[in-house]
Structure 1
Amino acid sequence: MRHLEAFLDVVRYGNISAAARARNVSQPALSKTISDLETLLGVALFQRAGRRTRLTADGETLQTHALAAMRNLEAAVGGVSGQAAGGQVKVGVLPTVAGGFFPSVALEFSRGSADALITTVTGPNSSLIRMLRSGKIDLMVGRMPMARDMPGLSFEFLYEEPVLLVGRAEHPARDWPASKALRAYPLILPNSGAIIRQHVNQYLSTLGLAEVNHYRLTPVASCFPCSSRY
């Protein structure tokens, strides 16, 4: 248990120095605990990159199961001690979800769990997934990631929302076919790291507009007649 708690703290704080300060132990002592755990398992759990530590593939596997084990143990202790009620739920939500879908869900949850405190964190989908894996949040409401990012995570399909091509009401191209309008006017796109951008690129390709370098790139979440799943 001590080894797993130390391991999860290093993941949570990003490096051994920060984790040692949070645990009120010396850095050499925590380094030895991690080293002992790696020796017990016979694998390397971290890659050192300057002051930061990154999980290896074996480290990611251990993290997934260790988080689940710790949460199950906490639930078991709370259940037998009569202290299962209350607590805090940390939820990561996309900015587009934080102002629309999530508030009604949070209110409904609070009515059934009056003693629980809900805290929210907003950010890009990729950032929220990293926080979920590191244990900084308990769950997230975001776009469904690529298959390669799903191992170790469970998800539930909530809803599908359209992604639209939008212009002002008085725009001179409002009655044009989309392909003609997109060739004639600059376009605001989702940023290149957004999951939704892949759908946008596919849509452009169907119109013969794969050369997105012709367009002005601005980091917003908007744009096309396809769909995005949450």
Structure 2
Amino acid sequence: MLLRHIRYLLAVAEHRNFTRAAEALHVSQPTLSQQIKQLEDVLGAPLFDRSGRTVRLTDAGEAYVRYARLALQDLEAGKRAMHDVQDLTRGSLRLAMTPTFTAYLIGPLLARFNSLYPGINLSVEEMTQDQIEAALAADRLDIGIAFTGSHLADIDSQTLFAETLSLVVSEAHPGFARQQSLDAQALGQQSLVLLSGDFATRQHIDLYCRQQGIAPRIAIEANSISAIVEIVRRGQLATILPEAITRELPGLRPLALQPALPQRTVALLSRKGAYCSAASEAFRALASAQ
């Protein structure tokens, strides 16, 4: 049984005449009659009484037409819903990002996206990069925001921008009132609060310290960017975080490291071959324009 069988059935039921129904459907009358006969054969009962001057539904036809109309209404509603998703009046988007992006990137980006597409339901999670890639591969996410580099085999990346890491201190920190930069050896003497070792940012910092031949003095480890920011803002500890965070959060000041930490390339991650919804495409376009 096909959708056209239901449309043909309802047209004949409405016009009570095969010829007029065929004209309304823009098909030949023999074709219409053949299709109705096929439907009756599938259902195992006659749907129309053809014995009079007009065609009328049989009792079986009356019962079936009621459900056929409901089914057609649901199909039409489904078509509208699909169009709604395509024009971004409805839909959903599952996002995840590594922790540093929650402090400076994702807030303004999601606020802008929501103002443009308020009908899109957003699900947002904070994860390590390994967790993001595993969730993408398992189709539990649509898009991840992380870094380029070595990825799982079925992960694609789209470059967004380069991120610079700096030493971050409180604006009121007395030891750095007039300094604009800090060399690696001085960094080795500074007490730090850093992300824990399972985060990509921390691994990037540890590699830099090994390359500079210094062992960082880690006073506190935390798995929360907001906690690290508050500790630095209210005390004498420093941290190493994206410089962009200092432009978004008050009470912080960046100091350039000499030599500088290598920049990291921020990217949108997705699963290779995954269906890309209209919401995903819109988010990609907005993120790329930042």
TM-score, length-normalised on structure 1? Answer: 0.52
3-state SS in 2 of match to 1:158:
strand
2:200 is aligned to 195
1:137 is aligned to 141
Structure 1 residues 96 and 189: CA distance shift in structure 2, 3 A: closer
2:189 is aligned to 184
3-state SS in 2 of match to 1:202:
helix
1:93 is aligned to 97
Please say if 1:120 is aligned against 2:124: yes
Structure 1 residues 83 and 218: CA distance shift in structure 2, 3 A: same
1:160 is aligned to 162
The letter of the residue matching 2:222 is P
CA–CA distance in structure 2, aligned partners of residues 108 and 177 of structure 1: 36
3-state SS in 2 of match to 1:135:
coil
Greater strand proportion: 2
Report 1:1-230 matches (<5 A). Answer: 81-84=79-82, 85=85, 86-144=90-148, 146-147=149-150, 149-168=151-170, 169-171=173-175, 178-209=183-214, 211=215, 215-216=218-219, 218-219=221-222, 222-223=239-240, 225-226=260-261, 227-230=263-266
Q: What are the Cα deviations for residues 66-95 of structure 1, in whole angstroms up to 9, with x where unaligned?
A: xxxxxxxxxxx99x9343212211111233
Equivalent residues of 2:91, 2:121 under 8 A apart: yes
1:152 Cα deviation from its structure 2 partner:
0.8
3-state SS in 2 of match to 1:118:
strand
Equivalent residues of 1:188, 1:216 under 8 A apart: yes
1:216 Cα deviation from its structure 2 partner:
4.2
The letter of the residue matching 1:132 is L
TM-score, length-normalised on structure 2? Answer: 0.42
Structure 1 residues 142 and 179: CA distance shift in structure 2, 3 A: closer
Higher relative contact order (CA 8 A, sep 6+): 2
CA–CA distance in structure 1, aligned partners of residues 184 and 210 of structure 2: 10
CA–CA distance in structure 2, aligned partners of residues 140 and 123 of structure 1: 9
CA–CA distance in structure 1, aligned partners of residues 124 and 200 of structure 2: 21
Structure 1 residues 81 and 130: CA distance shift in structure 2, 3 A: same
Q: How many residues align?
A: 149
Q: What are the Cα deviations for residues 40-82 of structure 1, in whole angstroms up to 9, with x where unaligned?
A: xxxxxxxxxxxxxxxxxxxxxxxxxxxxxxxxxxxxx99x934
The letter of the residue matching 2:194 is L
Unaligned runs of 5+ in 2: 1-74, 226-238, 241-256, 267-290
1:139 Cα deviation from its structure 2 partner:
1.0
Equivalent residues of 1:92, 1:140 under 8 A apart: yes
2:49 is aligned to none
CA–CA distance in structure 1, aligned partners of residues 184 and 212 of structure 2: 6
Unaligned runs of 5+ in 1: 1-76
Equivalent residues of 1:167, 1:174 under 8 A apart: no
1:163 Cα deviation from its structure 2 partner:
0.8
Structure 1 residues 150 and 94: CA distance shift in structure 2, 3 A: same
Equivalent residues of 1:110, 1:116 under 8 A apart: yes
1:215 Cα deviation from its structure 2 partner:
4.2
Equivalent residues of 1:191, 1:217 under 8 A apart: no
1:21 is aligned to none
1:218 Cα deviation from its structure 2 partner:
1.1
CA–CA distance in structure 2, aligned partners of residues 98 and 180 of structure 1: 30
CA–CA distance in structure 1, aligned partners of residues 153 and 205 of structure 2: 25
In our comparison, the structure showing a higher alpha carbon Rg is 2
- Percent identical pairs in the alignment equals 14
